Amino acid sequence: MKHPAAKPFQSSRPRPTASTAVAAPVAVPNLQPTPPEATSPAQTQTVSAAPAPTLTERTEPMNSPAKDIKPAPATSAWDDMDGVQALSIITNPIMMADADMVIRFVNEAAYQMFEAIEADIRKDLPHFRAREVLGKSVDVFHKNPAYQRGIMNQLKARHDGKFTVGGRHMAFRATPHFDADGATKGVIVEWQDRTVVLEAESQIAELLSQLDTMSAAHDAGDIDVVINSSAMNPKFAAVAEGVNAMVQGHIATKKKVVAALTELALGNIDVELETFPRQKAFLNVAFESIRGNFKDLADEIRTMSNAIVSGDLGLAIDVTKYKGAFHTIVSSFEDAFVHLNRVFSTISEQVDQVAITVEQLSSSSQSLANNSQIQSTAVDEVSASSEETESQVRANAQSATRANTLVVGASTVAAEGREKITEMVKAMDGIRASSLDIAKIIKVIDEIAFQTNLLALNAAVEAARAGQHGRGFAVVAQEVRNLAGRSAKAARETSDLIEGATTRVQAGVKIADETSKSFAVIVNDIDEVKTIVREISTASEEQSRGVAQINLSIGEIAKTALATSQQADELASGAAEMAAATASMRAEVGRFKLRKVETKLNALSSLDQIPADLLAQLQAMLAAQMGGAAPAPVVNGAANRATAPRVADHDRRGFSGF
């Protein structure tokens, strides 16, 4: 819907109709530029541009239909269209205002733009109506009209400005129109709603910022950081999610490669890497190259190890097939093969020489074992006799010691018995004195019982006199008489017993005196026996110590002989085992296939040529097999034969402990 043009641009004359034969002259905007005046310093957001076109007053209304205008002769349809009609059909929002800044023209594109954002503008400017702006001041678009009015009053050239209203970001370009005197006749304003553009720019800035943040985080090692698209509109959120998916896809690919390499590092040579498409396939090529090298090296090591286990030390190894660290590993195995060949070749020759020496050692040790056995038997017989003598002497000494102990004990007991008899005599004297005192007491008790009997009799007589009232008292008096009789009888019996005891105590005192005299004689005799037994015990102990010393010396000789015999037997047994071990070692070494190497080993013609350290090692090995310690050689061996004592278990090279 199109609204009429602004009144200032209408002519005071009526526009001729289509039936008019001759059209009145129509004034159209003169698009030729007029020189603008200097721009005021206070003017803001003004850019240099082409001067605004000069508008001449029309004689017909701007909103007159095109059919009402009589076209001038022209060669095309554009020649029949005036400037206002052209502004009405273009898609850029256009407004025109007069010198008083009253809106005089609004094209349809401007109406549609402001209608689309009318609700937002009304948040700040409630009176705003898009279809009602025509004929109103441009102040309806501004929250601070005075500021905008100041800019427009000083407008001398094209001015680009922007403002925000109702959350919408608006931009405009105001082009002034001047008259011949340079005064402003009107302003043409081109509008643009930049809200969507600015929002897109904000979204792009946010996306780029998060891209920078994610990139920095990934460079720092935080590969789980992604773009947060929650605050973005759907289009930019889709872009962000796409970037996240791409980055996570690359990370997932790297993790798969790292996981496969980790398995490979752990020895899983058969691990497979997921097949990647197209240009990512270079990862599979590189991984298969690494895995192939590891597999070849593992196969080579397995072959060399199996050769060592099976004894094939003559295996030829081609180290030129490998490079770098792999070449170092295989070269180390080759060096090991060379060294093992040299060692086993030397061992083989030494085993042959040791076998000859062991045979000689076995013969000598067997002869030594026989001689040691004879010596050990003789020493055992002497030791047995000495031990028997020592046992008898020890028994005598022990018997004498025990007799001395018994005599001392008997003497002590006799002395104690004598003392006890003396104490018993004293006790019996006390008993006799106590018996006499008891007899006196019993006599008093007897007299009391007699008096009690008399009193009870008198009581019975008095009770009889009392008659019926004294019958109970008579019964009590009779009982008292009975008790008094029994007390008298018991007192007489006790007196008789005490007299008998006193007689027996006197007899016992006499016997105790005689016993005390006998104990005194026994104590004297025991003292003499104790002295004799002490002398016997001392002599027996001296004799026992002497025999023990003799037996100890014989025991040392027996131990030496036995040790010599045992060591000779062990040496013979060890020599036999060494011979068996040498044969086993020869067989074990013989199964190895060796390369040809040169060795230098002088043969040993006899035991005398065995080095002392080698013989000591042989002795240590034998001792370890027998479970004992290795015998220690005498320092300097044969060099000390002139000064060292010749002991039975020393050989002529100075070794002992056989």
Pairing between β-strand 53-54 and β-strand 30-33 as defined by DSSP bridges: antiparallel
Structure tokens at 273: 């890497």
Give the separation between CA 414 and CA 405, rounded to whole angstroms: 14
**Residue 139 contacts residue 148 (beta carbons within 8 Å):** yes
Q: Which two tokens stand for residue 613?
A: 């350290």
Domains 197-310 and 340-590 share a fold: no
Report, as ranges of residue numbers, the positions in the chain whose pLDDT lies below 50.
Answer: 1-70, 72, 74, 599-604, 629-648, 653, 655, 657-658
Cα 353 from Cα 618, distance rounded (Å):
14
Residue 248 and residue 232 in contact, taking contact as beta carbons nearer than 8 Å:
no
CATH level 2 (architecture), domain 340-590 = Orthogonal Bundle (1.10)
Per-residue pLDDT at 112: 92
- Structural domain boundaries of the chain? 7-193, 197-310, 340-590, 611-658
Q: What is the pLDDT of residue 621?
A: 63
Nearest by Cα to 50 from 67, 33, 62: 33
If one looks up domain 197-310 in CATH, what number appears? 1.20.120.1530
Alpha-carbon separation of residue 441 from 6, 435, 492, 634 (angstroms): 170, 10, 11, 102
Structure tokens at 439: 């007899």
Q: Is the CB of residue 340 less than 8 Å from the CB of residue 308?
A: yes
Between 281-310 and 324-466, two packed helices, what is the crossing angle to 10 degrees? 80
For the whole prediction, is pTM greater than 0.75? no
Q: Encoding tokens for residue 174? A: 């105001």
Q: What is the DSSP string of 529-593?
A: HHHHHHHHHHHHHHHHHHHHHHHHHHHHHHHHHHHHHHHHHHHHHHHHHHHHHHHHHHHHHHTSB
Q: What's the pLDDT at 591?
A: 65
Pairwise CA distance, residues 480 & 474, whole Å: 10
**pLDDT for res 49:** 38
- pLDDT (0 to 100) of residue 326: 79
Architecture per CATH, 7-193: 2-Layer Sandwich (3.30)
